[in-house]
Every structure is written in structure tokens, then in C-alpha cells.
Amino acid sequence: MQRLKSLLIWFWRIASRPSAHLSLGFLALGGFVCGVLFWGAFNTALEVTNTEKFCTSCHEMRNNVFQELQHTPHFTNRSGVRASCPDCHVPHNWTDKIARKMQASKEVWGKIFGTIDTRQKFQDHRLELAKHEWARLKANDSLECRNCHSSVAMDFTKQTRRAADIHGKFLVTGDKTCIDCHKGIAHELPDMTGIEPGWRTPPEMRDRQSFRDNPRDELARYLAATGAER
């Protein structure tokens, strides 16, 4: 500890004094060039982690989610536009991207300790993992979907009547966001028992059917109301 302190003091003495041998121009320009090099390297490394090749270099991704992606329209479709992993799972905006990358350091932990290193383990964690992504897309109003699909650019007359109706009712009004209904479009779904379809009104906003969510409370209230008179 004492040694560390003395080291810090030594560094501060050097850093706080004006340079005796090197010119100001050298230091400024050198600093600038080093900054450019550092930033370039940082950004390149960041972009490398943002490729499908990098994502599928882990067998957890390659053998599970990447296989499932390959038979969905986001992989092959009539117009030949392909969405790869980062298109949907990493925000394009810089600050959001850095925030997501920092979150993703948890995934390094999972990789090291083999949290999902078998198919069975992956299936066991699937609901939790899916819920994270649903929550993320819900919170940013399906930003990654909207990087390509915009409700303004949608021609409802080209959709089937059912799709146009539903989009008009939920998407245009802003009631719901893409991920509410379009879950599991690029991967297999987890066990969906008890997860209601996204177009449904949340339980707390329902009036008629709310009794179904806590039938015991309803019954208790009824008994309290009638039992009091007895």
C-alpha cells in the first residue's frame, strides 16, 4: 500500500510539472495522433464484436439461436435483405450501443462459467433470456425493429386485411409496440405457459375479466359482502 502510494506520488510529480525536454508541439501532436490511433483501434474492436461471425464464434450462439434463425424470414426472404444478430440485438445509437456492450460483459461471465453450455441448460434459461430481450425491446419501443420497419412507411393496403386491421388498431395508435405481438419471430419461443398474447390489455387495465386473475380475492370479497349480513 505504501509502495503504491509512493508510486502515485512519483507519477503525479512528473505529470504535474511542465516538460523540460519535449516541445509543446510534439506533445500536442503526439497526443492527437495517439488519440486517433487509440480511438480507431477501439472502434474497430467494437465493430468486430458487432458481427454475426463474432456472435456465432461461441457454440452457445451457433448451435442454438443461430440455427433457429436460419429458417425464419429474417434470414432468407423474397427481397434478400438479411438481418444478422447485431441488427436486432445491439442498438445502433452510440451511447445505447456502449450501454448494451457494458451489459453484455455479463455474457462473458456466463461464457466462462458455462451457464448455457449445453442445449438443456440453454432451454432451462430460455424463458429468462427471452424475457430480458422482450423487456429491452419494450422499453425502447422496439427500436431495433424500427431501424428497418417503420409504421409510417408501411403500406397497409399491401397487407392482408387482418394484419392491416391489427396494425391500425395497436401499432398506429401507439398502444403496443412490435415486440408485444411479434415474439419468437427469429428464434424458437420459450415455454409460453402463462404468457398472454401481446395484443391483450394488461390485467390491471381490464375490467370485465379481471376476476380471473385473482379469483380467490374476488370470492373473499363476495363472501365478506354477503357474510356480513348473516
Partner 1 sequence: MRGQDHFGLMRFRSSIAGALLGGMLVFVGGAIYAQNAPQIVPRVTGAAAPMGDVPAPPVARPIVDDKRLMRNYPEQPPIIPHSIENYQLTLKANRCLDCHRRQFTEGSGAPMISVTHFMDRNGQVLADVTPRRYFCTACHVQQTDAQPLVPSTFKDMLLVGPEKK
**Binding interface with partner 1 (CB under 8 A):** 72-73, 160-162, 184-185, 188-193, 196-197, 199-201, 209, 212
Residue 191's alpha-carbon distances to 74, 120, 126, 184, 196, in angstroms, are 22, 13, 8, 11, 12
Which helix (H) or strand (E) segment holds residue 128: the answer is: helix 119-139
Cβ proximity to partner 1: between 82 and 92 the closer is: 82
Cβ proximity to partner 1: between 43 and 118 the closer is: 118
- Shortest Å distance, C-beta 210 to partner 1: 12
- Shortest Å distance, C-beta 191 to partner 1: 4
The number of angstroms, rounded, from the C-alpha of 161 to the middle of its chain's C-alpha atoms is 31
- Shortest Å distance, C-beta 110 to partner 1: 22
Closest CA to 86 of 148, 38, 141, 179: 148
- Shortest Å distance, C-beta 163 to partner 1: 9
Cβ proximity to partner 1: between 107 and 133 the closer is: 133
Write out the three cell numbers for 217. Answer: 380475492
Cβ proximity to partner 1: between 154 and 185 the closer is: 185
In sign, the C-alpha dihedral spanning 54, 45, 128, 201 is: negative
